[in-house]
């Protein structure tokens, strides 16, 4: 059944990203939104509200619990950090009760721990939660972020007109660059235009943004993860060529370790996000995460797939009766032969693992010198296999088996 895979990994060599020298690999870090949302009740829920205390705590845990050493470097605020109104001179103000020391102090705290600081705003009159947006204050806000030593800006798109986003988002990207402070620029530009029935100009998007959203916000459920996987698979011919060093498609946060995913489903999300060369932004309570989910998030071999310096977004190369195969070209290379990361997914829910058998050649691994094949979750080394070698994997329902085939050089 695999003879008709028709594998063609389309690799764009003409993608040029935002000229700020940043995000040469997909950003990695921790983001508050999916897990902590817009909880501003620090009186009744002081441990979980959006506050400087929460971000300081997560900063400390990212360092102490090994996430930073695995590559997670950003601590990103999302919506609901602001006062409801600007200052008398038009400056953004952090909520005085929840951020009593101000944003610059929080930025300094995060930097003192060796991490980087990200902030949220909106290209609109208001943020999605109703706080002040940047429209009318674009230059002032860009320079204020620079004064706060911000390293990453996420710009949402509520309360704005999608037709104006081409100019608005690109202008703000230029303003960020003009400050002289390098800041990763995360845009929501395409998704709002897609919702409005407008085909985004991805050439412009990847010129001005380091990463961007294409699809729905992730929710804490397997259904949500599946919908995102389907969107990226069904639209890969349009989406994948736009990704590369400095400019990435963003399928949204990792929800691993929360309430909605089983262990198998969490492994699947991490595997597919790495195949997609996606930003790896955890949104989880690091104080209570269970060890098995922590191990997934810190799987350095799979992180290396995501962070592969070639920056090629992988593709779905097979889909039939609930079984999918995804493939990503990675380094090292031998002549014109790539190494590959391969994810076998079982989307079935019939309660029993499914066997998948396929030769390396059918997966597009055709170098006659062979490939050293390794299971990246089970840490099993299968040795050097050749194009005509048939491999067989057993994949649990809603689970994944992820292999790496490293191209071999002639003796």
Give the residue from 86, 77, 91 showing the smallest Cα distance to 147.
91
Please tell me which residue in 151, 156, 306, 308 is annotated as part of the active site. 156
Examine the residue annotation and report whether 220 is marked as an active-site residue of this protein.
no
- Using the CB atoms, write b or e for 70-86: b if 16+ within 10 Å: bbbbbbbbbbbbbbeeb
Q: Which residues pair with 339 in a beta bridge?
A: 330
Kind of pairing between the strands at 280-282 and 248-250: unpaired
Q: How many residues does the chain have?
A: 411
Encode 199-236 in three state secondary structure: CCCHHHHHHHCCEEECCCCCCCCHHHHHHHHHHHHHCH
Please tell me which residue in 60, 65, 166, 217 is annotated as part of the active site. 217
CB atoms within 10 A of CB 199: 9
Torsion angles phi and psi, residue 65, rounded to 5: -100, 15
Q: In which region does residue 262 sit, left (phi positive, over 0), alpha (psi from -120 to 50) or beta (all else)?
A: beta
For helices 165-178 and 138-147, give the axis angle rounded to 10 degrees.
40
H/E run at residue 342: strand 337-346
Burial (CB < 10 A; 0-12, 13-18, 19+), residue 344, is: buried
Q: How far apart are the first and last CA of the chain?
A: 34
Helix (H, G, I), strand (E, B) or coil at 251: coil
* Calpha distance 196→84 (Å, rounded): 28
* Calpha distance 344→327 (Å, rounded): 9
- Are 144 and 121 contacting, i.e. CB atoms less than 8 angstroms apart? no
Burial (CB < 10 A; 0-12, 13-18, 19+), residue 355, is: exposed
Examine the residue annotation and report whether 217 is marked as an active-site residue of this protein.
yes
Helix (H, G, I), strand (E, B) or coil at 266: helix
Give the residue numbers marked as catalytic: 156, 217
């Amino acid at each position: 059944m695999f003879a008709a895979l028709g594998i063609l990994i389309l690799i764009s060599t003409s993608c040029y990203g935002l000229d700020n020298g940043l995000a040469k690999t997909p950003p990695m870090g921790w983001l508050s939104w999916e897990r902590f949302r817009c909880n501003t009740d620090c009186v009744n829920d002081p441990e979980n509200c959006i506050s400087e205390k929460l971000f300081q705590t997560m900063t400390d845990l990212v360092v102490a619990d090994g996430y930073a050493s695995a590559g997670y470097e950003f601590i990103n605020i999302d919506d609901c950090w602001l006062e409801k109104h600007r200052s008398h001179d038009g400056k953004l103000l952090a909520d005085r009760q929840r951020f009593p020391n101000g944003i610059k102090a929080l930025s300094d705290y995060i930097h003192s721990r060796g991490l980087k600081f990200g902030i949220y705003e909106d290209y609109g009159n208001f943020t999605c939660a109703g706080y002040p947006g940047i429209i009318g204050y674009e230059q002032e806000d860009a320079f204020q972020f620079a004064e706060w030593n911000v390293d990453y800006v996420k710009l949402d798109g509520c309360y704005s007109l999608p037709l104006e986003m081409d100019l608005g988002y690109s202008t703000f990207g230029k303003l960020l660059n003009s400050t002289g402070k390098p800041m990763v620029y995360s845009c929501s530009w395409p998704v709002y235009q897609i919702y409005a029935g407008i085909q985004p100009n991805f050439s412009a998007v990847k010129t001005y943004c380091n990463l961007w959203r294409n699809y729905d916000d992730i929710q804490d459920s397997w259904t949500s993860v599946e919908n995102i996987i389907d969107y990226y698979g069904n639209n890969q011919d349009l989406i994948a060529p736009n990704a590369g060093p400095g400019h990435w498609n963003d399928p949204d946060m990792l929800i691993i370790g929360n309430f909605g995913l089983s262990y198998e489903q969490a492994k699947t999300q991490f595997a597919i996000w790495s195949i997609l060369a996606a930003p790896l932004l955890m949104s989880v309570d690091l104080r209570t995460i269970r060890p098995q989910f922590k191990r997934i998030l810190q799987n350095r071999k799979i992180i290396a797939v995501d962070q592969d310096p070639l920056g090629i977004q992988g593709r779905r190369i097979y889909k039939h009766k609930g079984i999918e195969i995804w493939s990503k070209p990675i380094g090292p290379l031998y002549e014109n032969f790539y190494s590959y990361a391969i994810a076998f997914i079982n989307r079935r829910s019939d309660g029993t693992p499914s066997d998948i058998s396929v030769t390396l050649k059918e997966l597009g691994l055709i170098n006659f010198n062979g490939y050293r094949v390794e299971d990246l979750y089970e840490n099993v080394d299968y040795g050097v296999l050749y194009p005509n070698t048939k491999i067989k994997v057993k994949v649990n329902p809603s689970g994944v088996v992820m292999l790496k085939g490293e191209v071999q050089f002639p003796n």
